[in-house]
Each structure stands twice: as structure tokens, then as C-alpha cells.
Chains A and B, each alone.
Chain A
Amino acid sequence: DTAVSQTPKYLVTQMGNDKSIKCEQNLGHDTMYWYKQDSKKFLKIMFSYNNKELIINETVPNRFSPKSPDKAHLNLHINSLELGDSAVYFCASSQVLRSLNEKLFFGSGTQLSVL
């Protein structure tokens, strides 16, 4: 049983297209995240949702729009894709947003390549 699953694993697309990445967690967690990992492996938070409510929104272009239909799902829609959007996108979840030692459970990532 995969705890945090995201699809697709690979996404190759042309500049200017719109694409979505889906994420689901079966851990019963309240909080979900999107992280971006660039080619140098740098891992940076993009968004955080707690029980369907947006909690953290880093300085991400508004071409990126997260959607949380329920607390088990957090999807990421990207409009007008640019070359610089190429990266690995990780979904993650944690049990409690404000606990001291919240452990993050990561999905296996979606490698996005914009041509």
C-alpha cells in the first residue's frame, strides 16, 4: 500500500501547455504539501494545505494553482508551462500541521520536462 501516491511519474510536454499532477495520501493526515526539487537537488516548499485550507504559499508564480478537493488529495495545476518549470515535484503529507516533530511522508515524485 503506497502511503503518498502521485501521478504521473513522468510528464513531458511543450512550452505553453497546461498540465496537472495528482496526489493522494491514505495515511489519514490533515496536512499536504507540494515541494519542487530542481536539477541541483535543491528541495523547496511551494504550498501547504491543512484540511483543504491553504496555509503556506511561497513565492510561486500564479501559473501554479493547487487544489484540494478533500484532505486526502492535493492536486497541482500548472498553466502556460515554461522551460524553468522543469523539475521533480514531490507531494508530501504530515499528520498535524503545528506539532513539533511532524514527520513528512513524501511521494515518489513527478519528473516534469518542459521542451
Chain B
Amino acid sequence: DAGVIQSPRHEVTEMGQEVTLRCKPISGHDYLFWYRQTMMRGLELLIYFNNNVPIDDSGMPEDRFSAKMPNASFSTLKIQPSEPRDSAVYFCASSSSRDTQYFGPGTRLTVL
């Protein structure tokens, strides 16, 4: 299995631009999670889906952040407009049970 796939791996953008991060979960997994990792706050859950339906988005920091999962094999996390404080590594993880979560390699976002 290819594991969780994220793209792009690195993104550099300017403040105010729209950023879209993409995730392909492991085939057959019905849970998908988006996390953000920063030095200050560590790893934080942003939102998660079960069977393509958003279940908990209480970790989404602001209305500038949105996430979608149009089908079982694809999810996006969008930031519009982006700000320098959004700079972080964004991880997608998937799970076929309510326990073990498999993480992707992450997208390193830098907002100038």
C-alpha cells in the first residue's frame, strides 16, 4: 500500500493568497484527520471526517480555514486568505478503525 499521500510536500506563498492542501487516504479507510504541527503548539487536530462527513471541526482556527472530502479517496484543506501565522506542517492521517491512525508525510507551508 502506498500509505497516505499528501501534496504538495512544500508550499511557499505570500500573505493573502489562497492555499489548497491535498490528501489521499489509504484505500478502505473510513476516517480522515487533518492535523497541524508547529513548534509553539505541537500537533493539533483541526478536523476529521467519517465516511466523508465532517464530524468535528472545532479545531479549525478560523473561518479562513475550510476542509472538504468529496469522496472516499480525496480531501482538501483550504486556507483563504493565508497569513504568516498559518506557517506550519499540515498532516493528513487516515484510519480504518477508531484507533490506529496512519499519518502522511505532511505539507510544509510557509506564508511570507
State yes or no: do A and B come from one complex.
Answer: no
